[in-house]
Structures are given as structure tokens and as C-alpha cells.
Structure 1
């Protein structure tokens, strides 16, 4: 090898040796500056260890307060005397700080197979950050120089913070219980020169025994400093965190609008020391609290926070419904629980604001049985008022307020200026109402016109089924009929007031008086749940209005036929199978027979009889009229039971001319008017069954 080559190799070997020496000489603290190693476990023996489990730094009156919590685990068979251990704090620049041990942690021992925590704290410079600090656990040892032996050293990577990220949680120790805490809701609104900042902090005790929530202090940390938050509910001062129960602590405070809104954090501290002037605020947990200003622009949705929690309200729809000579305005409001705990249904008063300056008083209607709202759940309430039917608004707002002591405070305003069209239930379809009060299903089954001398009675039959699992009086209905030319006729409802068992139904008759000869083509029926001063009506009550209106599509009315096989009245289906009649002098002798079936799904109905007549319409003569009642005791009626029936009628005919030909008509009657169901021409005969098929 020539001298030049030897020199080149010699230099290369020197560089490699220097690199190896540099790497192996790198301090251990450098390797430990990754986040994963910040909270490393360091062995005290083969079975025991110490671990840094928490580190925080918060502003204080004299600079900043740094705190460090260490967990000692004793896996050995003899106690560990913690008097032998201490912590030392210094900056990377060499400045030393005196650490103080939390009073509650002094003179502790760690029993075998147990863990114990020690928390140290110190005041540091206000410009200090965690990544500039180094904390050591030492053990007093008189056999070494300086009488202290370093057991573990902890440092922090650049930019390190122990803040809980938005949406995250942290487990803190209260008593002997681990309690998970997180921010559940943040609601910020602007009022004058301040932001009203509301925070819901939720806590779940993972221990087996209840623990009292300590007398913590709560702050919002902003770029301009700390602002103290107050408890909205004084009862939270004595709150007990029961095992597994999710509790919510609600905080509020005012922060000047001049403060920058980035980087906000919720700081929870606990006072250390008896005297207020010398008390140190020890950080317990710091959570990111992203600032988001609740919009002040009026839309269909809005949020508000009260002493109970944070709610969202949405104006779902606005209906105008004919009522007497005015329009009833019904605003349906959805109230949502934005918290992670159950909230009571807020008691919100409403005011309609029409075209900015017109104010309409309202009445609040709640669902029967609505008391509270589950986390993430909702409840629907309605606000009702009235307005002249000819007035057409351009802008509609609903202002919501609640009482705080003797003061009424507006909490939200929502708007929806377009009137919501009435939902149409198709012919043959079932209308389902799933309100918390009384869930039910409704279906139109028939339409009948009962003819009178002056007016016709138009009746729609509606089956209403109880969909809840308890017996209940089903809701009362109210509404109107509207003909094709726009004429409005009030709808009246007839139904017995009885309790309906689960899955059973009631037959409801919705009717109105129509002028004789009016065109019923395209007639509409709009119905809603009736209310009065006491709220939604169940059972009986005189309606003052209605809400949740829908249009029930109506089938074509059935015409009378010559068949007597499927005569329906109430829950009964009658198959008349025999009729003959003859005159025995002045005695009319008639025989009738038929089979009666009953649908036992009906627990409530009004109609239970038919009328049989022998009639000569050309002479305006009714020779015979008899009522047939089913399972009833109608005085003077022919009483038929379920099953096969046969009856003989003998009637003396006086002062009437008797003709050879008559029509046998079967009617159903309602309010004195008649609906023809079946008709067949007959003659006198002792053997002919005129309705045989």
C-alpha cells in the first residue's frame, strides 16, 4: 500500500470511530424525549417501579405552577418507605426549583402489591414551558456522594403539552377512584362586549364507591390570560359522583370580545393551602376548549344553554289551519338534548313575531308524558296562536324565552316563513303517530252520506288503533272538510269514551252537515289531535284547536246494491239470507233471517243497528219500518245475536192502502238521517225468498 492510500484509509477509520463514540456517548435523556417515553416506567427492583403519570403547567399569580404526579407500584413482599424518595426539578438551562409535596401525600408507605401516588409542585417562571424542564426521582442514600442517588429522570420533547385534545378525555384520581372527565358541550354567545361562555364538563366515576366532587376552581385559559368560570348550579358544589353514573358540571363565565378566540383551554385546579392569599392552584386537568360562536343569524335552528344544560331547538314546520273564522297558526318545535346526560324538558314560552312588528301570543302544547330528554334525543312541542285568515305574512319568527327567578330571558329565536303543506295520507294507507303521549295508527275505512230532508250528513269512518302497551283513552280529533270549490265545513267527531286495550281499535265517525245536493267530488278531510286549555285531549273534552294535522284521502262512496250479503255496521257484518212477506187480512206477516259476525278487534264503536223498511217511493209510503239491533237492548227493536238469527214480524196495517209491489230497503241511520245499503223489489208471497242469491 502506498503512503497516500494508507493515509486515506487511516482518515476513514478515524471518522468511523468518532461517529461511533458520538452515538454511544449521546445522553439517555435525548432518547427519552419522544412522547412515548415521557411517561415511562423505571424499575425500583425486579418487581417494583415508579412512573410519571401526569405533568401540567398553568399560569399563576407569581408566574406558572408546574405539577408532577408519580405512581409507585410495589410488587415486592415488604413495604416501600416513600420517605426515602423525593423529586428534584431543574431547567435545561441549569436553574433549580424547589418542589413541594402535596400535604395529603406525605409520610406514605406503599404496601406490597399496591400502588400510591405522590404529587409535587413548584412555582416557575411564566415563560417556562414543560419541554424546558427536567424532573428527577431521587433516593436518599448516605453511601453515595451528596447522599442522593438518581432513580429516574424525565424530560419532555419540544412543544410537549399534557392538554387533553378536543373530543378526548382524561382519567383523574379523586379519593381512591379513577374518574374520567371530558368536555361534553361548549356554547358561546355574544352579549354586549363579552362572550358568554358555557361549558358542560362530564365526569364518570369508574370506582366502586361514591366520591364527592372536590371544591375545584375552573378557568378558561386564553392568549390574554385566565378567566374564572362559575358553577351554573349551586347544587354542584356538593355533587357526589356515584359509581358508573355520568354527571354533568355546568360552567359559565364572561370573556371580553377583545380576547383572541384561538387556543382556548378549560383549566381545572384545586387550591392548596389554607389562606386565600397564599393558596396555590394545583392543576388537575387541562382540556382543549375550541371556541365556536353560536350564530346570531336567525335560522330554523338555534342553540342555548341554561342551568340544566345545552339544547338545540329547530322550527320543524309552521301550519295554518282553519278554525272558526280565523286561521290557527301551529309552530312545531323540536327540542334536542346536546348533552351526554338526561335533561329535563325546558319550560319555554313562545311569541310569534309576524313581519317584524306584529306580535301574537301563543300557547305551549306538550306531548302527554314528556318530562325529560335522553342524551342525543329530542322532544316535540307545539306553539299555537291565531291570525285573521286573509292575512298573508312575509316573515315568521318564533321567539323563545324562559323565566329565571322573576325575570323573563329570551334564549333563542328561530324562523321559517313558508307555510308547511299539510301531509297527505294516501287512500288505504295507515297514518302512524309516534308521539310519546299515546302512539296510535289511523286508517279511513268507509265514507257514507246519510240523507235527510234538508241537509245531508257526510260521515267518514276512521279506525284508530292503540299502539302502546297499556290501555288508554285515545286522542280526541278535530278538523275540517273542504269541498273542491274551497268551502270549509267544521268536522265533528263521535266516539264513545272508553279505554282501549293494546292492539285494539275504536271506530271513530267524523262528520259534517252538507247542504242537500252539494257536489262532494274531491272533498277533503283534514284532521289533527285536539287540544284545550289543559293540553292534548284524551278521552273527553271540548277542543279549542288542533295540531299535527294531516289530510286523510277518502275512498269513493259505495252505492246501494241488491245484495244483502255484506252489510256492515260498526264492527258487525250481516248476511241477510231470508225474507218473505204476505198479507193475512189486515196483518202483515213477514219472516227475516240472517247471520251476524263481529270483529272483536273493535273495543269502541257507535253504530250497532239497521233499519228495515217496506217502501213505495212513488207514493211516498212506508208500509213497514223495523229496527234490528245487534247485541243491544234498543226498545221495540228486533234483537239479533252473533250467529244465525230468524225473526217473524206481524204488524197490523190500518188506514193505509196496500199495494202488490213494495221495495225492501235496508238503511243505516245516523242523527235521524238514512244511508241506503241494499234494496230489492218484492211482492207478497208466502214462499218466495226475495233476497236469495
Structure 2
């Protein structure tokens, strides 16, 4: 009977061994006789038959509804002969006396015998109630003895002392094993910032390979345990990589902890998942006392961590500006690298706005410079831009920065920094008429340039008019560059907004070179423009500045520019008119006679200013003649964009006008009914700048045309 029971127990042990050796946590896969974790012994006892036991490395990992307890028992055989290890078992008890089923770690199930004067470590794990504490546990050592009731002979209990925590002190380290290689693990930095209803926690842990071979760490699980015993998972933000001998690798861990939790008594728990046991096995624990905390509620420089390192962030200006049938909210955020010796990569961040603590607004984060790294004690300014409905009202708005948890496409984004709520957004910066606006050189704009409004023009049509502003841009970079693409609106003090189009010359502008932007919009005929001003900013497409043929979907760095008064004076003669960059001079007006018809000749000279590049697309110079009743009986239009085309200058019969000297020559039909008499016709010649089909009068001059009739003699 005794043999039969013994065979059943052995069969059960073998079955359990086969099941649980399918997947072995690396911390358990240590070599013969080596401890999975080097910690001072917790308790010891002298058993029977010169066999003693030591409890060490007892760990507790609270989880949903229960806790996982892992511990190591060192068996020492001081007898003269070998002993059978499977004759002994460990039973876990809590303070109430409740016992829990313990299982031997898979790699230790093959340890069958222990020679005389030798020691052996056996690791166990058990699932206990969720509210147990380490210092209330004990491990009873049992020896199978079929002569005893229940076949058990108690060897004594290894009781965890009341003052034992099983946690490495703040600044301390723990040694864990990856196979046979010892890794010294420690927490090097702990940073936290309050964000709304959560703490954004960032920890840096060091893994120091003290062995002689390179190892790849397993997928450890990390948890923060608070004083009330609650645990919160946090995740590793660095890619797994091999750790060479005598090399330290730093990992960043990050996660959210409810802000309602007390900040005292936090611990970092490290576990490794056992696929065979279907649970996380605790392998290390650390006190988290030395926390660097950034306070919420200020817009000063707040610390935050990313996969790339530790930074500080400062929120700058935040503005609300028009965009089609929506509004854009744009914010600049300066990222600082406080390290005095090392550069840091510009962090790859995401973000969102929170309106009134509830509604989230999707945004884009734009790096406008080409900088790859932030120099020691340097900074980089990023732009955050998002859209809201035009009628969206809110009392407060908060900006929250995020980072992808990993480089995977579907990786989850996690909060890394939240700025304080803002209420009442300020007005954008404004520049007086004639004042120069310069983009700064601290990363707010890729291209350093200055802007000034030179002039405004109104072009009249039958039912509407065009309002156009000429903005001079100077390249302040040290090399030729394409101008930043601009988004602009015309807006009144009453909030009426007119979208604009921007005409710009193609090609790069040299250092200290200038270009003219023509920013225009169609407005109602006779619209009062006294409070009209220009709102402009750098065009953005997605998360990049707009370049090439890309279409802008928002803009950043908005500024307002008051506009100069329009020059409305009309010249009383046609000697000279200006359509920038051209000056056109007329002379030698000849309205000499022609048989039956009117003759019209005019010499011209066109000069082009080289001071600035400009697009004249859409502009025409129009010459018209009206009679005394204002009937327009002659009109000729010339494409200003062709003034400087490769065709030769000179006399061209009036079909085109070119830079240089030339002559216009026209024949105007005489429609008079008195065809047997010489005809005189008074009129006014008018010169227009026509833009997009609408006109601005530049000059007028009275003229007299006449034709003669060829008289035949009487028969």
C-alpha cells in the first residue's frame, strides 16, 4: 500500500514537471547551485537528519483578485550520505494559517538528489489571496514520511520577519539572472508630472551585464505598487537589444497612475511572464522615494521623458485664428536639453488639446526646422496646430504632449506632459502699417525673413472688387532659398473674414534678396475697408511646412499687419504709369489723320526694377479711349506677364509690349454718318492696371482724333 501511494505521488510530480517545463522564465533558468536573485537570507531552520533550510528571495506581486508569491529555499545537506530532494516540499501559509498550493519552478523539477555536504536552491511559486503581505507569510518545510499521519513530518517553519519588505532600498540594486548571466538591475531616475486626473510617471532603470556573454533580456513586466497595495502596469519604451558583457543599458518605463493616489510608499515591481504557469512571476522590487516631480499649474519649464531621454518643455503663445469655415488653434512649445555634455534627438511627439477638461481635439505637431538634435543646453521650438468649429466656445484649453509607446505602426500613444489650463486666448501680435515683421531664428520658422506691406490696391468690377496687398519679403538667410509658403486672410475688427489667394514669383531668392507677394481677395463692391487688416502665417500641410505643389490645410506663427492707405490719385497725363515691377513711359502721341478712319500712334519705353522678384500673373495694361459721352469706342489690352518674355523689343504693330522701346500703332474705324466731311472726335485716353478682370485707373489724358475725306473733283 505504501509503495502504491509513493508511485502515485512520483507520477504526479513527473506530470507536473512535463507540463510546466514548456516555457521557463529566464530568471528561473539559472545554473546548478546558483541563486536566481542575490538577496540576504530571510529566515533559516535546522531540520531533522542534519538537513537545514534557508528562505531567501521571497517576492510578492499583487494582481487582480490574487497575488503571486515566488521564493527560493536553499537546502543544505550536512549528513554523511546523499538525500532525495523530492522527499521534501514547501507549504506557504499566511498570517491566518491559510495554506496555498506551491509549485516548484520548472527548471528545478529535475533536481532529484543532493550529495553529502552540498547545497541546492529550489524555487517555488504560489497563488495567494490578493491582500496578503510578505511579512505575514511563512513557509513550512514538510518531509514525506509514510509512517506519519497524512504522511507528513514537519521540519519547521521559515517565517518572514515583521520588518521584512523584500524591496531594494531607494538607490539600491538587485541581481537577476538571464540564464547563467547575472544582470545588476537598479532604478537610476524617477520623474513624475501631474496631468489632469493622472500622474505621468517615467522611470529609468539600468541593466548592467556582470557576466561574460552577451544576453537579450526577456519581456519583463513592470508595475508600480502604491501604499494601499494597488498595482498599476507601466510599459518599457525602449526596444529590446542585446547587452554585452560589462555594459549597462538604460530602459525607460512610463505609465499613468491616478492622481488620487498618495505619493508615499511607491514601489517598482519587476516580473517575468511564465507561459507554462499562465502568470507573471515576481523577480525584483525597488523603493521609489527619490522622485523628481514637475508641478502642474504653471507654464514654466516642465520636465518630461521620452524614449530618447529627459527634456524640459515650455508652452509659449497660443492663438485662435480663422481657417475657412473653422478656426485654427496654434501653439508653440519649446523643448530644452539641460544636459551640459550631450546632445539629444529632437523628440518625436504627438499631442492633443482638451477643451473644458472634456473634449479632445486632434492636432499635428510640426518641427519647422531641419535640426536633428538639440545641442547641450540648447532648445528647439515645435508648433502644435489643431482645428475646431468656428462657433465652438470653451472656458479653458489644455495642451497635452504624447509619445508613441514603441516604433510599431499600431503602437498606442501615451501622455508624457500636460500643461496647465489656459482661459481667454490672447490676440495675435500686430504690426503697424509700414512696420517690418521678422521671423525669429530660434526654430519658429525654417526660413529667416522679413515682411512689410508696401501698398494696397482696389480693382473695380461691375458687381464686386478685388482688394490686393503687396507684401515685400526679404530673405535673411545666408543662402538662396525658396520663400516660405504663406496662408493669409483679410479680416475686419468686426470679425468678418475674407479668404485670400497669394501670387508669388517662382524660384529661389538670394541672400538679402527681395520678392513681392500679392495677397488678394474678392470683396463686395464699395465695401468699407478702413478696419481691414491682414492675418498671415506659415502654411502647413499635415505635420510639415507646405512645400512644392502640396496644398495647405492650416498655418502657424500667425501675425496681424495693419494696411497702409491706398494711393488713389490718377495722373492727369499718360507720360508715366507704374505696374510693379515695371515703369511704362509714353511719348510722341500722334493722332494724325487717316482717310475715313482715325489714326493713333504712341511711342513707349518699359523699364523693369530688379529690386524684387514678383509675379505679374493676371495683370494686364489696358489702353482705352472714351468719347465725350464716356462711350468706350477703343480698347487694347497687354499682358504684363509678357513684358519681359524672350521675344525681341521694338516696333511690333501694337500687338505686344516688351521691355525696352517700342511703338503702338492703331487704326480706329470712323463711324460718323457724315462721310463727305472731315471728322474731328474729342476723347479721353485712359490707362488701367487690370487684375483678374477688374481694373484700377492709373492715368488719363484728353486727346482729339480726326480723319479726312478724300474729295473727288466734279465731272
Which TM-score band applies after superposition, normalised by the shorter structure? 0.5 to 0.7
Aligned partner of 1:590 in structure 2 is 600
- Alignment partner, residue 31 of structure 1: none
User: Match for residue 218 of structure 1?
Assistant: none
CA contact (8 A) 2:455 2:470 kept: yes
1:613 deviation in Å? Answer: 1.8
Q: Secondary structure at the match of 2:685?
A: strand
Distance in 1, matches of 2:566 and 2:315, equals: 39
Q: CA deviation at 1:524?
A: 1.3
**In 2: Cα distance, 1:239 partner to 1:368 partner:** 39
Residue 645 of structure 2: aligned partner:
632
How far is the alpha carbon of 1:511 from its aligned partner?
Answer: 0.8
Query: What is the rounded CA distance, in whole Å, between the counterparts of 2:627 and 2:589 in structure 1?
Result: 17
**1:548 partnered with 2:587:** no
* Contact preservation (8 Å) 1:298, 1:413: no
Match of 1:615 in 2: 626
For residues 577 and 422 of structure 1, do their structure 2 counterparts lie closer, same or farther at Cα, with a shift above 3 Å needed?
Answer: farther
Contact 1:474 1:538 in 2 (8 A): no
Q: Shift in Å at residue 429 of structure 1? A: 2.0
1:193-212 equivalences in 2 (<5 Å):
none
Q: Is 1:300–1:314's contact at 8 Å kept on the other side of the alignment?
A: yes
| Separation in structure 2 between the aligned mates of residue 656 and residue 61 of structure 1, nearest angstrom | 118
Q: TM-score, normalised by structure 2?
A: 0.55
The Cα of 1:237 is off from its aligned counterpart by: 5.8
Distance 1:576 1:379, change over 3 A: farther
CA distance in 2, matches of 1:421, 1:356: 23
Q: 1:190 to 1:519 in 2, by over 3 A?
A: closer
| Structure 1 equivalent of residue 571 of structure 2 | 561
Contact 1:450 1:675 in 2 (8 A): yes
Mapped to 2, the partners of 1:234 and 1:570 lie a distance apart of: 63
1:570 equivalenced with 2:580 (yes/no): yes
Question: In 1, distance between residues paired with 2:608 and 2:246?
Answer: 60
Name the structure 2 match of 1:416: 422
Pick one of 494, 498, 503 that aligns with 1:494. 503
Q: Which residue of 1 aligns with 2:684?
A: 663
Distance 1:338 1:583, change over 3 A: farther
CA shift, 1:301, in A, is 4.4
Question: Counterparts in 2 of 1:278-289, with a 5 A limit?
Answer: none
Taking the TM superposition and a 5 Å limit, the aligned residue runs for 1:348-427 are 348-405=349-406, 406-414=411-419, 415-427=421-433
Aligned to 2:703: 682
Match of 1:321 in 2: 321
Structure 1: stretches of 5+ with no match in the other structure: 1-59, 63-183, 202-229, 242-246, 261-288, 687-693
Structure 2: gaps (5+ residues): 1-37, 41-187, 207-235, 256-261, 267-288, 674-678, 708-715
Instruction: Tell me how far apart the structure 2 counterparts of residues 599 and 357 of structure 1 sit (CA, whole Å).
Output: 57
TM-score when scaled to structure 1?
0.56
The separation in 2 between residues aligned to 1:253 and 1:592, in whole angstroms, is 80
Matches within 5 A, 1:92-131: none
2:138 corresponds in structure 1 to none
Query: C-alpha deviations, 1:598-627, integer Å up to 9, x for none?
Result: 222333422575222222373332324252
Q: CA deviation digits over 1:458-487, x for unaligned, max 9?
A: 111112233323333322222221235432
Instruction: Note the aligned Cα RMSD (angstroms).
Output: 4.3
Deviation at 1:642, TM superposition (A): 4.1
Residues 442/648 of structure 1: CA separation in 2 closer, same or farther (3 Å cut): same
Superposed displacement of residue 185, structure 1: 9.8
For residue 354 of structure 1, report the CA deviation from its aligned partner.
0.2
CA contact 1:433–1:439 (8 Å) conserved in 2:
yes
Hey, what's the Cα distance between the residues in 2 that align with 1:555 and 1:476?
A: 23
Secondary structure at 2:370 match in 1: coil
Residue 587 of structure 2 contacts residue 603 of structure 2 at CA under 8 Å; is this kept in 1? yes
SS in 2 for 1:520: coil
> Contact 1:567 / 1:573 at 8 angstroms: preserved in 2?
yes
Question: Do the aligned partners of 1:430 and 1:443 also contact (CA within 8 Å) in 2?
Answer: yes
CA contact (8 A) 2:680 2:706 kept: no
Match of 1:303 in 2: 303
Q: Which of 450, 453, 461 is the equivalent residue of 1:444?
A: 453
How far apart, in 1, do the equivalents of 2:200 and 2:315 lie? Answer: 25
Count residues with an aligned counterpart: 449
CA positional deviation for 1:425 = 1.9
Secondary structure at the aligned position of 1:499 is classed as coil
Deviation, structure 1 residue 231: 12
Q: What does 1:322-337 correspond to in 2, within 5 Å?
A: 322-337=322-337
**1:432 CA displacement:** 1.6
Larger RCO (alpha carbons 8 Å, 6+ apart): 2
Using the alignment, how far apart are the partners of 2:390 and 2:529 within structure 1?
24
Question: Is contact 2:193-2:417 (8 Å) kept?
Answer: no
Q: In 1, Cα distance between the equivalents of 2:254 and 2:395?
A: 38
Distance 1:401 1:487 in 2: 36
Correspondence for 1:463 among 459, 462, 472? 472
Q: 361-370 vs 631-640, which deviates more?
A: 631-640
Find the counterpart in structure 1 of residue 514 from structure 2.
505
User: Residue in 2 aligned with 1:87?
Assistant: none
* SS at 2:377 equivalent: coil
Contact 1:236 1:249 (C-alpha < 8 Å) held by counterparts: no
Partner of 1:651: 667
Cα displacement (A) at 1:402: 0.5
1:467-514 CA-to-partner distances (Å, cap 9, x unmatched) read 323333322222221235432211111224433333333322111111
Q: Could you tell me which residue of structure 2 aligns to residue 74 of structure 1?
A: none
In structure 2, do the counterparts of structure 1 residues 493 and 487 end up closer, same or farther at CA, with 3 Å as the change threshold?
A: same
Name the CA shift for 1:521/1:566 in 2 (closer, same or farther; >3 Å): farther
